[in-house]
A and B are shown apart, each in its own frame.
Chain A
Amino acid sequence: MRIISITLAIAGSLALAGCQDTDRPLSYNKGVYGGKADTKLKAAQVQTLRHRGMQQAQ
């Protein structure tokens, strides 16, 4: 009886673990972006972009 209940508990927890939807955020905060974080540009990249922008004056 004990073995059966332990087996059922393990099987149940495994089955419930499979129910998780990991691709989408499960909690929602209004007005807060909940997706993947973007990579920030480095200072050197920003400087390059600024210089490149100045070339449009020609």
Chain B
Amino acid sequence: MARMKFLCDAERCIECNACVTACKNEHEIPWGINRRRVVTINDGKPGERSISVACMHCSDAPCMAVCPVDCFYQTEEGVVLHSKDLCIGCGYCFYACPFGAPQYPQVGNFGSRGKMDKCTFCAGGPEADKSDNEFKKYGRNRLAEGKLPLCAEMCSTKALLAGDGDVVSDIYRERVVSRGFGSGAWGWGRAYPGQGA
């Protein structure tokens, strides 16, 4: 088993935001928190591209490196998770993350910052699998139910892929070959000059 990965196919994403809605609904995420967002560049202009962004479950995660209380851990499947019992809500991980994945709910008055919340790859947290405690703190544990993250599973254009990195890359590679003009991904033309978009 390779590491679990997300991949958003910019050529297929239609900016419907269904992944964002599905995530919020599945995990009953409070107002003001978005574990996933759709980012669009060149909006309304030629070359417009959208991708869905959440925690990318980095192999060498910067959030883990900077956490002063070491509340992060990686599962055997490469999913980056954290313990809200240990988190002190300092915000270091937010500064370190290149994707802006960590979120902080407002607790109490005066906008004080709560414990960090982020995408769990629908893998819950360190509490007992499928327990009430796990759901309240981290959301649903779909992996334990044999299901992949809902954002990817319900994507209508199959732009957002999730799962075993080998499987995801096989699917994407087939698409790129059948398109015949490159991947359509941001930066493809700069990385591979003269080989398509």
Contacts of A54 in B (CB 8 A): 167, 171
Bound Cα distance A38, B134 (Å): 11
Complex contact A37–B143 (CB within 8 A): no
Count of residues in A whose CB is under 8 Å from the partner chain: 28
Whether A38 contacts B163 in the complex (CB less than 8 A), given A32-B70, A45-B143, A50-B1, comes out as: no
Once bound together, how far apart are the Cα atoms of A53 and B68, in whole Å? Answer: 35
Whether a CB of chain A sits under 8 angstroms from the CB of B43 is no
Query: Which DSSP category, helix, strand, loop or mixed, fits chain A's interface?
Result: loop
Task: Pick the 4 closest A-B CB pairs, nearest first.
Answer: A53-B163, A35-B83, A48-B146, A36-B126
21 contacts between A and B (CB under 8 A): A31-B70, A32-B70, A35-B71, A35-B73, A35-B83, A35-B85, A35-B126, A38-B73, A38-B81, A39-B128, A41-B77, A41-B144, A49-B146, A52-B146, A53-B163, A53-B167, A56-B152, A56-B161, A56-B163, A56-B168, A58-B158
CA distance A54 to B144 in the complex (A): 18
A56 with B158: CB separation less than 8 A: yes
Q: A24-B85, A38-B81, A41-B77 are in contact. Are A33 and B143 (CB under 8 A)?
A: no
Residues 18 to 58 of chain A near chain B (Cβ within 8 Å): 23-25, 28-41, 45-46, 48-50, 52-54, 56-58
Taking a contact as CB atoms under 8 Å apart, the answer to whether B146 and A53 are in contact is no
Q: Across the interface, name the chain A residue whose C-beta is closest to B155.
A: A56
- Name the prevailing secondary structure of the B interface residues: loop
> Is B136 close to A, CB under 8 A?
no
- Closest chain B residue, CB of each to CB of A47: B1
| Nearest residue, chain A, Cβ from B175 | A57
Q: Mark B168-179, 1 if CB is under 8 A from A, else 0.
A: 101100100000
- Shortest beta-carbon distance from A12 to chain B in Å: 30
Q: By the criterion CB–CB under 8 Å, are B125 and A49 in contact?
A: no
A52 & B148 in contact (Cβ 8 Å cutoff) = yes
B168, A53: Cβ atoms under 8 Å?
yes
Q: Count chain B CB atoms within 10 A of each CB in A25, A34, A39, A40 and give the residue with the most.
A: A39
B26: CB under 8 A from chain A? no
